[in-house]
Structures are given as structure tokens and as C-alpha cells.
Structure 1
């Protein structure tokens, strides 16, 4: 997983013809692979392993790597990060878009996908943090 993320971080510097040679589009479990990567990015963000800008950047790179062909699940995770990444003057100074939008949306998306097991994990992590 770390190797995949490290390679995603260098995607911008890889020439397009090299990426085309990989031909990810022919892999049978292509959407499933991106779903797992997106889920791991979301869980790592919720576990405070990295910041919102890092998570959003990783999700943007997944979008580029997939050539914009992602499942609804992965797009939902991307949009959750996008909601927290953008700030306007209309937001009050004390409002954190990540806390107000990204975290609740990610929890809802992951809870719907994984059922009550993930919900228990998140509640346990919250209880340990307090």
C-alpha cells in the first residue's frame, strides 16, 4: 500500500505515454482496486495519519490515474475531501470545512459501505481519543 501511495505521489512527473503503457483500464478489478485505495485514504485521514490537503491530493491523483473512470463510491470519497478542501470568505473564521463537511461525509460513506463494524471502529477510536 505504501508503495502504491508513494508512486501516486510521483504521478505528475511520469510522462503520459508511460502511464498509457501500464494500461490499467484492462485490469478486471480496476474499480475495486481504486475503491480500496480510496477507502484506505479515507480511513488514514480519519485516523489522523495525514492532513486534509494530503488526503485531497491523493484523491486527485487517483482521479487522474483512473482517467476519471471511478465508481460512485470512490467519487463520493473524493467529493467529501473536496468539500473540506475549499474555503471561501462566506465561511465564518471559526468554521473548519473539514470538521463540518469532510469528516461526517467520510464516516457516512464508509459506514454505508462497511456496515456496523466500521461504525464500531470509529466510535472506539473517538472514545480512545478523548
Structure 2
């Protein structure tokens, strides 16, 4: 069963319970910059060189941001998070962005609703520079 999180504190608590952090990427547009929002989970994703998220952008890529900046963009884009209810003994970090009530027409693509899947692998010791 899924539930929708709209309140700042409930989103922050849900994310922090899973060792998550807010990240954002600026993407230039014709009239103004747009910001893509994501949540990243796990220390490896935060330590990745020049990439704190799933993709690298020629304009700078994903950046770890503070909650106030992230929430400002979430509010501007009128989005909420849909998360799965946790099963006993597990904390799922699956989520997707959904429009807040009355803002469905503002969403133009599925990519705007669902973030890219992030896969984190343990580093291979053979790949380390000596």
C-alpha cells in the first residue's frame, strides 16, 4: 500500500530514517533554469566524485543541497512523494514524485514523476589508483 507525503517534516523524517539526503540538478531552459529533484540514499552515492546522483550533466550534475532549497523547489513544482508502506523489519527507499492535488496538468512527462533508479555497488579494490 502506498501513501503520499506532502508535509516537509514527514518527508524529511522518512528520508533521514533511510540515511537519505536531498539532491538537485539545475537544467537550463529557454526562459529560466529548471531544477530536477531527487533523494539519494547511501554513503557511496554521496562520495562519488563529481556525481552525487545517477547522471552527470554538462552543466554541473547533481548537487547535495540543504532541505530548505529542496523544499522550495518541491513547493514551486507542486509535488509530493508517494512512498510504499514499510513491511515489518525493512525500510524501503522506493519513492516517486506525484503532483499535488489540482496540479496534474503541470506534469508533462513520466520522467518528471518518477526519479531514475540509482544502483550503488561496492567499489572494486582493483579499480583503486595506487
TM-score of the superposed pair, with normalisation by structure 2:
0.25
Query: Bigger relative contact order, structure 1 or 2, given CA contacts below 8 A and separation 6+?
Result: 2
Higher strand content, 1 or 2: 2
Higher helix content, 1 or 2: 1
